[in-house]
Amino acid sequence: MFTTIPVWEVDQYIEYNGNVMIIDLRSSNSYQKGHLKGAVNLPYEEYDYWKNQLPRDKTLIFYCARGGQSMNVCRHLESMGYHVINLANGISYYRGKYMVRG
């Protein structure tokens, strides 16, 4: 089973782990309004196009607006052998210092 972390723990991954890729699954419009520092925007609706292009040598941290889409992606990618982490409840609860406003 993949790991799910509370939203406030993502700061530790941003600060201390250089071998992570943070992926924002929201629409590009939502991403542009605000996202986690260093996050890559790969919209959930385009999953079939980008799922096979992810690095296998990194820990992939996924988030969406409320947590459902990222949980689905993590479940699927873990079964394909990726090391994934789901951000619980989505980015709407994040109040940390790494939010980049658009």
Cite the active site residues.
64
Q: Output the CA–CA distances (angstroms, integers) from residue 62 to 36, 44, 73, in the order listed.
A: 11, 10, 8
Q: Output the CA–CA distances (angstroms, integers) from residue 64 to 10, 67, 72, 87, in the order listed.
A: 13, 6, 11, 8
Q: DSSP states of 21-35 as a string?
A: EEEE-S-HHHHHHEE
Amino acid at 23: I
- Rounded Cα distance, 27 and 83, in Å: 23
